Amino acid sequence: MVSRSAEALSPGGLVWVLADDRSGNVSQCLGVAEALTVPFTVKTVRYTALAGLPNALRGASRLGIDPATRRALTPPWPSFVIAAGRRTAPLARWIKRKCGARLIQIMDPGWPGHRDFDLIAVPNHDGPMPAASNLLRVTGAPHRVTPERLGAEKAKWWERIAAFPVPRIALIVGGATKTHPFTVDSARRLARQAAEMARRSGGSLLVTTSRRTGKAAETALLSELPEPRWVYRWDEGGENPYFAFLAAADAIVVTGDSVSMCCEACATAAPVFIHAPEGSVADKHAALHQELYKLGLARPLNGKLESWTHPPLNAADTVAAEIRRRFGTELDGASPAGGRGIG
């Protein structure tokens, strides 16, 4: 498995990853790029106010892309472009016009231009789309949680983690979204269920909050959690042991407000329990939870610690395998300059 940070990448790679200001989208693209195990280059994308225009008006263009980003988009051109979300779609299509690169898009790029994309990977929870030869449906969101990363993070933090009694229960806490608050009552209910699991099993809690948790909800949550526990608070800064918690957990409790967190929890073989009371999450999130339950990857949180195993989930591997199935010869044989010019 090749895993390269954006800082370590050199320009002119076979694969370009378009990385804009939505970290969740970027993480999905990087997960796919890393799963391909080929060199890739991260191209930072910054927008102007015109990026808010409908894609039908932006077309296959750099409209809405800031000057610094435009200056960085120069030869040697890529053979493949990986991007995510609707705002990147016009730029990806413009690059294809320039060099004929294959376009791999995570999530629906929106209308128009579906035919310009060589593969569109859409999670099942995003709802129905018309069948098409370039459409791939996947479970959950691609991510960067691999066995190698989990092993490395567990080793790095193991001396401290080892002091906590088993079963170790990771409590991964998100928070409010644009449409659904994370209330003090919800935080207390979550904490009491996790605490009951730890008390009955004689285990411990490995807890991390997020930037969306909110101070009031975080305070209420922590007031209900017993020792022994290790708590990482988002606003404390410093290195977050999140991935080490996932790796070391005998069970994982995760809030259902984040697709990424739910899918990353399911990247382990540990039992996963999702806290998502009715009405607390968006419909798409609820659809994902139901899919995970149906596949045996997770169960609703009910305060009981149950034990089962499941295969690790990572849609990045599914997308990468499909890219290789369709375009493997091009992926392995094209030069870094890449491209199949179209005039």
Pick the more confident residue, 5 or 54: 54
Rounded to the nearest 5°, which phi and psi values hold at 35? -70, -20
Please identify which residue in the block is written with the tokens 């092993």.
151
CA distances to 17, 55, 133 from 48, rounded to whole Å, are: 20, 14, 33
- C-beta of residue 330 within 8 angstroms of C-beta of residue 138: no
Tell me the mean pLDDT in the region 149-172: 97
Distance CA 59, CA 91 (A): 9
**How many CB atoms sit inside 10 A of residue 224's CB?**
15
What are the structural domains of the chain? 6-143+316-333 (3.40.50), 147-300 (3.40.50.2000)
Q: Provide the pLDDT confidence category of residue 13 given band limits of 50, 70 and 90.
A: low
Query: In angstroms, rounded to a whole number, what is the distance separating the alpha carbons of residues 218 and 184?
Result: 8
pLDDT for residue 192 is more than 90: yes
pTM of the model: 0.88
Give the distance between the most distant pair of CA atoms in the chain. 68
pLDDT at 249 over 60: yes
Q: Please state the rounded mean pLDDT for residues 264-281.
A: 95
**Minimal CA–CA distance to 145: which of 8, 232, 28, 300?**
28
What is the per-residue DSSP string for 62-74? -TTB-HHHHHH--
pLDDT tens digits for 34-54? 999 999 999 999 999 999 999
Q: What is the pLDDT confidence band of residue 8, given thresholds at 50, 70 and 90?
A: very low
